[in-house]
Structure 1
Amino acid sequence: MATCDICGRHENLPYRCSRCGGTFCSEHRLPENHDCPGLGNWNDPAGVFASDFDDSASTAGRSKSALSRVTQTGGILGYFRGNVSYLFLGIMWVMFALEWVVIFGIQNGIFPPGTFSALFTLSSEHPLYVWTWITSIFSHSPVSFFHIVGNSIVLYFFGPPVERYIGSKAFATLFVFAGAAAGLAHIGSSLILTPGVPTSVLGASGAVFAILGVLTVLNPGLKIYLYFIIPIPLWLFTFGFAILSTVFFLAPNTAATVGQGNVAHFAHLVGLVIGLAYGQQVKGRHRVPSQMSFGGRRGGPGGRF
């Protein structure tokens, strides 16, 4: 027995798409019904043509951009169509390794002292270092291993179902936009509330909680396991997180007493609000799974959480 990658329905005789490798029920077996990236091979998003031998379709396909050609099925980067969640997860860990390389270089006099901040953190002192708007999303605190592990868990389990629902391009745009907006909002609020006090931010928390917000709107009753043990509905987890972040943002002394004083709580809230708002825009396109199970679409792992 297998599970449909779109609706989560159990199938004794599932259909496996020869183009994307996903597993589907009878309702979603056709490429156009599961947003198959293989449709891009003949530039036929409506799924009109049944083969690759239509002359007009082949002519249209040749006019596509170089980016489309390398990211379509069979292209060099074709694997990342439908797997942007895991691509970003990998980038986070590569960036984490690079952070330690830079730290080692600073400690041994290879790099100047300000290199780490200039490369990896979005700061109120240098808000126009525009590359840090992006690099700070994929960077994490080198002194807190839980920081990157926590964000990795959320992205690993919650990212794929959201990506399958909204598509890889929209997912990538949402992740980067929400992450950058959350970081900018954090340093902006600090400039207003504590002028003259330098602040900086790094981490994917704003982005991953935007993903959490989208999934909460799409399927608020989705059962997750808090600490992998306690079953609760997703909406309760999201609501509880929002309440805690709000309290900690408004009462930083309280946050400090419970070990949350050096956390960008406002950035978390901004990312979550962006996700909730975007979820309302895309809600209703098609069904979402009632639970997350291993064996995700297009060769990427899902996960019951």
Structure 2
Amino acid sequence: MSRCDECGKQENMPYQCRHCGGTFCAEHRLPENHGCPGLDNWSDPGGVFDSGFDDSVDDDAGGGIRDRLGIDTGPGGPLGYFRGNMTYVFLGAMWITFLLQHVVLLGISQDLHQALFVLRPSHPEYVWTWFTSIFAHAPGSLAHIGINSIVIYFFGRIVEDYVGSRDFTLLFLGSGALAGLGQVGFQILQNGGIPAFAPGVLGASGAALAVMGVLTVLNPNLRVYLYFILPVPLWLLTVGYTGWTVFQILSVGIGAGGTAQLAHLLGLGIGLLYGQHVKGRRRVPNQLQFGAGGRGPGGPGGPGGRGPF
């Protein structure tokens, strides 16, 4: 059972508005019946509801980045799939990178794996690792990549719908890179210079926690099923995780438990700040719904549909 955001009616088979993310009964499912903020954008000169992936959609003069580069991100275009689907793109990139890590480790060498995928205090000048380390995860640890995948899958879809695919992409990559750089930067300061041997950083936890931080600001009372069983408000989950992370850092250090604790805290902080920046643009759903009817992989330019989260 879900509650209609417009009238409060309990609905067994709710409708999810793909433009504002709200949950509605049959009477209020149409955008015009629930005052959808997206109605203001239906005058789009390109005939497309803007997902936020490309600024040029609302540019009447046609002078946006898309036009200057000759890139078609509209429906049917070569990049149309990515509109509204960057959450899935990042998830796919994570698992592909995870497989590549094992190929390199088993077929070539650990040194090459470190150089390609791990952001290390000893080599912060390897700029590519600022980003490859976001998608790489601890080899052989399904729990590491699995937990990050769950957080990104459920929270990422809501945040991407809210801020648009372009801004979501910048948030994900920017927060992941800054969180990792913050961790290794502090390690360098602790050692009074670049250490010869120090643990590196890899994993999408910083980016995933940034996404969670944004959603915490947008809807702190969003019900989340902890371990898929215990319903808790998102704000409580965020406060609890923050408290535990701070305790770990103060009592053991930024690498407590073999985890980049400072990177996690930085990612969450970036998300909370960005959430305050974008708060109030439009409404967000008041609960996560699991099971059938989830959004398909298509989006505006792809083959899938959009249903309840």
Is 1:286 aligned to 2:294, yes or no? no
Does the C-alpha gap of structure 1 residues 80 and 63 become closer, same or farther in structure 2, counting only changes over 3 Å? closer
- In the other structure, the counterpart of 2:107 is 105
Question: Does structure 1 conserve the Cα–Cα contact (< 8 Å) formed by 2:245 and 2:261?
Answer: yes
Q: Which of 242, 261, 267 is 1:265 aligned to? A: 261
Contact 2:104 2:110 in 1 (8 A): no
* Distance of 1:168 and 1:62 partners within structure 2: 15
Alpha-carbon contact 2:52-2:167 (below 8 Å) kept: no
Would you say 1:32 and 2:41 are equivalent positions?
yes
Instruction: Give the match for residue 90 of structure 2.
Output: 88
Distance 1:301 1:129, change over 3 A: farther
Pair 117,223 (structure 1): closer, same or farther in 2 beyond 3 Å: same
Aligned to 2:294: 295
Question: Does structure 1 retain, via aligned residues, the 8 Å contact 2:207–2:267?
Answer: yes
Q: How far did residue 242 of structure 1 move?
A: 0.5
* Alpha-carbon contact 1:186-1:264 (below 8 Å) kept: yes
Flag as ranges the 4+ runs of structure 1 deviating above 6 A: 38-41, 59-63, 300-303
Partner SS for 2:58: coil
Q: Would the aligned equivalents of 2:210 and 2:269 in 1 still touch at CA under 8 Å? A: yes
* Residue 132 to residue 300, structure 1, CA distance change in 2 (3 Å): farther
Matched, 1:65 2:68: yes
Residue in 1 aligned with 2:26? 12
Richer in helix (by share): 1
Give how far 1:261 is off: 1.2
Q: Which residue of 1 aligns with 2:127?
A: 130
Structure 1: 5+ residue runs without aligned partners? 16-22, 47-55, 107-111
Q: Out of 56, 79, 88, which is 1:77 matched to?
A: 79
1:149 paired with 2:146, answer yes
- Aligned partner of residue 114 in structure 1, secondary structure: helix
User: In structure 2, the residue corresponding to 1:220 is in which secondary structure?
Assistant: coil
Which residue identity lines up with residue 50 of structure 2 in the other structure?
P
Decide whether the 8 Å contact of 1:38 with 1:73 is kept in 2: no
1:224 aligns with 2:224: yes
Contact 2:119 2:180 in 1 (8 A): yes
Q: After TM superposition, give the deviation of residue 138 of structure 1 in Å.
A: 0.5
- C-alpha separation in 1, matches of 2:252 and 2:137: 21
TM (norm. structure 2) is: 0.80
Residues 179 and 12 of structure 1: CA distance in aligned 2, closer, same or farther (over 3 Å): same
Alignment root-mean-square deviation, CA: 3.2
In 2, the alpha carbon distance for the partners of 1:242 and 1:184 equals 19
SS at structure 2 position matched to 1:173:
helix
From the superposition, tell whether residues 96 and 121 of structure 1 become closer, same or farther in structure 2 (CA, over 3 Å). same
Q: Which residue of 2 aligns with 1:115?
A: 112
TM-superposed CA distance for 1:8, in Å, is 2.1
Which residues of structure 2 form unaligned runs of 5+? Answer: 1-12
The offset of 1:198, in angstroms, is 1.6
Separation in structure 1 between the aligned mates of residue 53 and residue 190 of structure 2, nearest angstrom: 49
